Structure 1
Amino acid sequence: MIISLLFSEPTLFFLWLLAIVYGITVHEFSHVLAAYLQGDDTGRLMGRLTLNPAAHIEPFGMLLLLVVGFGWGRPAPFNPHNLKYRRWGEVAVALAGPASNLASVAVFMVAVNILAPVLGPFNLLIQLLGFLILINIVLLAFNLIPIPPLDGSTLLFELLPDRYARFKAMLARNGPWILLMLIFADNFLGINIFGRVFGVFFRLAGLV
């Protein structure tokens, strides 16, 4: 895991750490911004409408991410009843996070294509850009998985017709446990569920 680099390759560890902090910060900030633009100032009043990482990083979630490879940031607060667009407003808020990671990937890939021929592949800035691309792809892919509390579940619930109400209620109630079991299976049983999901996005980005 990333924490193992702290003593063997401290420079790489801090580059990874910067990339993770950036990815989580822009992701959670974008949720709050999307809600704010629709008339909900819950996040702003709670000091979350900022790109200051301290407002978005959850210490225990960050520690777990560094140690076992899965963690979380502080969930973005918003009040769906305040949103201007009631039906699709929550979907817009949910997808704003992954959209920010997608936009980041595009920007950083352009930067790498411009700078790498000049600076060389082993330059620290190029390595940081590479880590930023990887982390943002992982955050994009992971959060689009349609299992609560991940962002993709909000879109799934909006798309499913009313006849699936019982299924939606079950998934909303048990989603976090299902996700934890998948993470456990992925880490300790070698099923590589998430690796396959991430691999699809890496191939789409031309990284594989």
Structure 2
Amino acid sequence: MGAGNSAEFIRMIAVGAIPVIFAITLHEVAHGRMARHFGDRTAEMLGRLSINPIRHVDPLGTVLVPLLTLWMGGLLFGWAKPVPINPRAMRNPRYAMVAVAAAGPAANLLMAFGWVLVLRLASSMLATLPGVGEFLLRMAEIGILINLLLLIFNLLPILPLDGGRVLRGLVPEAIGRRLDVLEPYGLIIVLGLLFLGTFNKVLGPLLMSLSKLFFLLGGVKGG
């Protein structure tokens, strides 16, 4: 990596750190809060409903994978340490687990809309405070992209992803047990597809199309 590329890499980390940390942290907090709503207080007792990102750091997903994907020039990606969930402590656990799983992607969708507001604010600052406005503009764009990516990615029907959890709760129990057999291999499959570039090819076009819509909502053409 040359000096120019190194400087760009460091700049991307500086601009992207806050939106990425918030995206993956609040995603997990949403799971925990929804679980508490249905009676499971496990995450709360372990201090995992805090928005303090330190409580949610996963060395692989929060540090190593985001840096590697950024360095490789692919889609910036990562995850936080999953919050502990106890279905047996929930009211109507089958329905509750669907709601708990859906809460994470829903939080990312809400955050994407939140970054649209930041994008509008940043655009209005470009004439008077160009340095600050440009910094916030790039941060908001990354915030929109990472939250839409987490939304799309987590809705894939692969256990242990949220989409897989939702599918598991909706299908008949006999089919669900077959899905459970595949769950131990789910993360390996996901990481393999990620680093082989498959997700870039499949999710990239969908992410770009959706992000353009959000950028337009923020008053910016393209990204």
Q: Settle same-fold status: TM greater than 0.5.
A: yes
Which of the numbers 204, 208, 215 marks the counterpart of 1:195?
Answer: 204
Q: Over aligned residues, Cα RMSD in angstroms?
A: 2.7
Change in Cα spacing, 1:164 to 1:12, as seen in structure 2 (3 Å) is: closer
Corresponding residue SS for 1:192 = helix
Task: Kindly state the Cα deviation for residue 159 of structure 1 after the two structures are TM-superposed.
Answer: 2.2
Residue 95 (structure 1) aligns with: 102
- Call closer, same or farther: CA 1:54–1:5 in 2, change over 3 Å: farther
**Partners of 2:16 and 2:139 in 1: how far apart?**
7
* 2:147 matches 1:136: yes
Asked if 2 retains the 8 angstrom alpha-carbon contact of 1:186 and 1:194, the reply is no
Partner residue of 2:24? 24
- CA distance in 2 between counterparts of 1:161 and 1:206 reads 40
What TM-score does the superposition give when structure 1 sets the normalisation length? Answer: 0.83
Counterpart in the other structure of 1:176: 187
Residue segments in structure 2 that go unaligned for 5+ positions in a row: 70-75, 217-221
Deviations 1:135-175 (CA, angstroms, capped at 9, x unpaired): 11111111111111110001111222345346423433432
Map of 1:1-208 to 2, 5 A cutoff? 7-8=7-8, 10-61=10-61, 62-68=63-69, 69-119=76-126, 123-162=134-173, 164-165=175-176, 167-186=178-197, 192-199=201-208, 201-202=210-211, 205=214
TM-score between the two structures when normalised by the length of structure 2: 0.78
Say if 2:194 and 2:200, in contact at 8 Å, map to a contact too: no
Q: Deviations over 1:89-120 (max 9, x none)?
A: 01111111111110011122133234413435
Contact kept, 8 Å, 1:24 with 1:57, in 2: the verdict is no
The CA distance in 1 between the partners of 2:117 and 2:8, in whole Å, is 31
Tell me the SS of whatever aligns to 1:7: helix
Change (3 A) 1:196 1:161: farther
After superposition, the Cα gap between the structure-2 partners of 1:114 and 1:180, relative to the gap in structure 1 and judged at 3 Å, is: closer
Q: Are the equivalent residues in 1 in contact too, given 2:116–2:215 (CA < 8 A)?
A: no
Deviation at 1:31, TM superposition (A): 0.9
Higher RCO structure (Cα 8 Å, ≥6 apart): 2
